[in-house]
Amino acid sequence: MTDPSSIEWKFDIASDTWDRLLAAQNGHPLQSALWGDARNRADGVEDRRWAAFADGEPVWMGRFEIRRLPLHGRVAWLPRGPVPMGHPLAVPAHRQFLDHLKKAGYLICFEDPYPSALAGDVPGIPLADSPKTLWVDLRKGRDLVFKAMHRNLRYGVRAAERAGVVLEETRSPEDVTEFFRICGTISEAKDFPLPGSERLLHELIALSRPDSPFKAHLFVARCDGSLASGYFSLENGRTLHNLWNGTDRSFARKSPGEAALWHQVAWGMDSGLRMYDQEGIDEERNPGCYEFKKRLGGEEVALPGLRAHPLGMVGKAVLAVGRRMGKV
């Protein structure tokens, strides 16, 4: 059915139901109820989960966080959303979504589609250059994925093994705290803001359940009993997305970072996942990270990037002021 009048909307869908529906669409973990519930518990961020259905099947999904502007109302922020769907009603449903936001008093909708924007006449206003990421096809198997890696990365994995680096997944609160400390040290040394908070990582681990498709994982490498490197990733049952990683450079000679990276990729293959997303590369602003991530190989993918939908004249004015002031 392709009649827009047949679309039915459901608002604030229960967490378990939402994540099952989202996983069936291979949705990004930042669109998950797991992420939204953790953000709420850690940072007090309010969110809503809205979906459009036709004949009982979802044709559009979007989880948005509510950002409040002083004296100017609310904006809706869809991290890595909305969820791209190939249904012919997806585009009219997106238009209806924007209409619902406007009627509810929202001034602007910001979206960051992943991996592609909806095809059709809902372009929005581009706010940034298209970001890039790297996808590694895990279906090739261990031998082919390992062989495709840069020789320096393969050497590091073998060097870590010879050095007795211990690899494991952990849910220990103490390990989460130490991992976040390492990430904080790196952000200070390289002068870039560290996204998220330690409490958010704790909540993501605590809220992850074995029976849910969306789960948080912390893979670590230990040298002489100390946590030397870690990769914090989220899965959706098909894809593993790396969100944070960090290595204590005092252990660099034992290559714990290379070992932890390979450990989580190998775990993904053993768990039947299809893809590993390195979540962001920037050759110009962060060439060191770019070169390291390129060592794993994979396909370089351009994402649509952040875009805005002002919802009325006030929204247009607020967006214009925000752009002039460098806030957007």
Question: Among 68-72, 99-103, 158-162, 297-301, which stretch is predicted with the lowest mean pLDDT?
Answer: 68-72
136 shares its domain with 112: no
Please choose, from the candidates 89, 86, 80, 78, the residue with its C-alpha nearest in 3D space to the C-alpha of residue 50.
78
Q: Which one-letter DSSP state was computed for residue 235?
A: E
* Pair (65, 121) in one structural domain: yes
In 3D space, the residue among 234, 198, 197 whose CA is nearest the CA of residue 215 turns out to be 234
| Residues 42 and 89 grouped into a single domain | yes
| 169 and 287 housed in the same domain | yes
CA-nearest of 298, 292, 304 to 276 is 298
pLDDT tens per residue across span 251-297: 999 999 999 999 999 999 999 999 999 998 888 877 877 888 888 98
Tokens representing residue 35 in the block:
């992420």
Give 26's contacts (C-beta < 8 A, 6+ positions apart). Answer: 236, 238, 239
Q: Are both 169 and 276 inside the same structural domain? A: yes
For residue 116, what pLDDT is reported?
A: 86
Number of domains the chain contains = 2
Residue 157: closest CA among 298, 276, 254, 291: 254
Q: What gap in Å lies between CA 30 and CA 17, rounded to an integer?
A: 16
Do 258 and 320 lie in one domain? The reply is: no
State the Cα–Cα distance between residues 45 and 65, nearest whole angstrom: 7
What CATH number is associated with residue 208? 3.40.630.30
Domain that holds residue 150: 132-302
**Whether 263 and 157 share a structural domain:** yes
Cis peptide, bond prior to residue 82, ω within 30 of zero: yes
Domain shared by 16 and 156, yes or no: no
Q: What is the pLDDT of residues 34-76, one digit of tens each?
A: 999 999 999 999 999 999 999 999 999 999 999 998 777 899 9
Strand partners of residue 268 = none
pTM of the model: 0.95
Tokens of 109: 């909708």
186 and 108 co-located in one domain: no
The radius of gyration computed from the CA coordinates of the chain, to the nearest angstrom, equals 21
Co-location of 286 and 150 in the same domain? yes
pLDDT digits (tens, 9 = 90+) for 211-260: 999 999 999 999 999 999 999 999 999 999 999 999 999 999 999 999 99
The helix/strand/coil state of 194 is: coil
Same domain, 141 and 267: yes
Torsion from C-alpha of 175, 179, 184, 189, nearest 10 degrees = 130
Is residue 224 domain-shared with residue 236, that is, in the same domain? yes
